[in-house]
Amino acid sequence: MRIVTVAAAAVLAVLAGLLVVRVNADVRAAAEVHPAPVAATAAVGTRPMLGVIGDSFAAGTVIGGAGGTGFPMMIADRVGWRWGTTAVGGTGYVAHPAGTLPYEAEQVERMVAAQPAVLVVEGSQNDGSAAPAAVGTAADAMFARLERELPRTRIVVVGPVASNSRQAAALAGVDAAVGSSARRAGLPYVDALAEGWFTDAQAALIGSDHIHPTTAGHARIADLLGADLARLGVLPPART
């Protein structure tokens, strides 16, 4: 299954098939990704676009965020923007289960074709078993490419999102590697672990698989990340 971002009939032939969400089972959970059509009701140029590269947290799953109810849509809707995500469950800067590719090989080309005004690169918890040095090297290459191919896009890097305190501790190395890479590239870094997006106190916002956020969990991400993006000056404040 593929999802296509369609902005206007005049550019349909160009964009069709370029901005998609592939359906893949996250190898770290039984939750199946069920993406839905990306909101694109306005003509090209009338509203800016928020793009998101990431893993199943950004793609959404049956536990929460599927069908266009995830945090990318929530954040964009609050500021009156369009949104699109190329996120694929189970992937990361180096992680890629069978049938998928890592972030740069799988998602960058399609996101470059969409030319978002703001791009969030999220993750990835899936890189937890990889060597942090390898994650950092892959992130360096990807950020350099994004800055080269999206010179007018405001890019913000969001570190791996833990589901509980134990996972936060296990992801410290990946968090440090991605954060260091973002700083080397001169990109803003949102440290989801340091901000405590999901600790044991938010267990009710994580599904029965103990990994993926519920729809209420996605709303928490939208609240926290939306505030970070407004603070960084890349998004306007949420509309009342």
Q: What is the dihedral of CA 229, 235, 236, 239, to 10 degrees?
A: -80
| pLDDT single digits (tens) 136-187 | 999 999 999 999 999 999 999 999 999 999 999 999 999 999 999 999 999 9
Q: What is the dihedral of CA 212, 162, 22, 65, to 10 degrees?
A: 40
| pLDDT single digits (tens) 190-234 | 999 999 999 999 999 999 999 999 999 999 999 999 999 999 999
> Could you tell me if 91 and 97 are in contact, meaning their C-beta atoms sit under 8 angstroms apart?
yes
pLDDT above 90 covers a percentage of the chain that reads 77
Please give the CATH number for the structural domain made up of 9-231. 3.40.50.1110
| pLDDT single digits (tens) 56-75 | 999 999 999 988 889 999 99
Count other C-beta atoms under 10 Å from residue 13's C-beta. 8
What pTM was computed for the model? Answer: 0.82
The CA distance from 140 to 105, in Å, is: 14
The string of DSSP codes covering 57-106 is: HHH-BTTBBTTTTSHHHHHHHHHT-EEEE---TT--SS---TT---HIII
| pLDDT single digits (tens) 18-61 | 343 332 333 333 233 333 333 333 344 589 999 999 999 999 99
Residue boundaries of the structural domains of the chain: 9-231
